[in-house]
Amino acid sequence: MAELSVKFAGLTLKNPVVTVSGTCGFGEEYAPFYKASELGAIAVKGMTLAPRDGNPPPRIAETPAGILNSIGLQNPGADAFIERELPRLKAEGATVIANISGSTIADYCKVAEKLSETDVDFIEMNISCPNVKEGGVAFGTNAKTIHEITSSVKAHSKKPLIVKLSPNVTDITEMARAAEAGGADALSLINTLLGMRIDLRTRRPILHNNVGGLSGPAVFPVALRMVWQVRNAVKLPLIGMGGIASASDAIEMLIAGADIIGVGTAMFANPYLPLEIIEGLNAYLDENGIGSVSELSATVKPW
């Protein structure tokens, strides 16, 4: 069997498959199917300093080959995560990516500082949430602001800092370079694309927030293209995510330039998908005589 363990931002993961924040809660929902420790890491639901109720419903709308969501960062707050959820995850042997968000740079710094004193393994900074009316959108679409928030939070984080990039920009490589210059230890991309659906009977947007984040198989080609572009622009390790729904998708994402891959929306339809990807990846490596998954990353051959 091929070697599936991979080094990422200074730590070794048992395999390159991680969950995407916001799609698996704090892992408990998937406990009937497998242990969180079977995956490379679990990225938990995004946390803010104080609890948030999120946006009013409706908050989910179906789209062709995907869904729109405007959950609005509903979460119990960082303290509740530290007290209730993190001990359970670590007792299971999980590698934990703590996703954080906020309305101001100071908010991000405070959450990062608080989590740095725990045994989370990584901190992932969501600067690009398109379904809240403050915070993330402004940070994630401006290179100068990305540099500022990254350097500020990095100064308060004792854990490897992953910056999650927004696809709702004109040049993803400019944003990636800004995060790298700000001191990011790794990047994750892409977050959801901004989208909208309208109810023909009422002529109102289906989502109460009017717009939301599009995820699912429909966004995969966009995510793949952006990971490839960013791989050629920065030297940071990358988590490639966005629409991965099969082992083949995951392998494509690795070949495009990701070091590890994130699985999200597709797990709603198939909770076993992360395990299937691990199995499929191992089979592909063996069939092609590749000894380690790390040898597969960034091996695309452009015309």
24 as an active site residue: the answer is no
Instruction: List all residues 6 or more positions away from 5 whose beta carbon is below 8 Å from its beta carbon.
Output: 12, 13, 14, 15, 293
pLDDT tens by residue, 85-102? 999 999 999 999 999 999
Confidence of residue 23 (pLDDT cuts 50, 70, 90): very high
pLDDT tens by residue, 162-196? 999 999 999 999 999 999 999 999 999 999 999 99
Question: CATH class for domain 6-295?
Answer: alpha beta
How does the average pLDDT of the chain come out, rounded? 95
Mean of pLDDT values over 1-19: 97
Confidence of residue 74 (pLDDT cuts 50, 70, 90): very high
As a whole number of angstroms, the distance between CA 47 and CA 159 comes to: 16
Q: Indicate the domain borders of the chain.
A: 6-295
pLDDT tens by residue, 210-251? 999 999 999 999 999 999 999 999 999 999 999 999 999 999
As a whole number of angstroms, the distance between CA 107 and CA 48 comes to: 8
Confidence of residue 132 (pLDDT cuts 50, 70, 90): low
Strand, coil or helix: 206: coil
What percent of the chain lies above the pLDDT cut of 70?
A: 97
Catalytic residue among 17, 94, 129, 132: 129
What percent of the chain lies above the pLDDT cut of 90?
A: 93
Mean of pLDDT values over 114-142: 80
> What per-residue confidence (pLDDT) applies to 201?
97
CA 300 to chain CA mean position, Å: 22
As a whole number of angstroms, the distance between CA 217 and CA 205 comes to: 22
Angle between helices 143-154 and 105-116 (to 10 degrees): 30
Confidence of residue 134 (pLDDT cuts 50, 70, 90): very low
Residue with tokens 């242990």: 35
Neighbours of 221 (CB within 10 A): 12
Mean of pLDDT values over 104-120: 95
Angle between helices 220-231 and 172-181 (to 10 degrees): 50
Mean of pLDDT values over 273-284: 98
Look up residue 6 and give its DSSP letter. Answer: E
Mean of pLDDT values over 24-53: 95
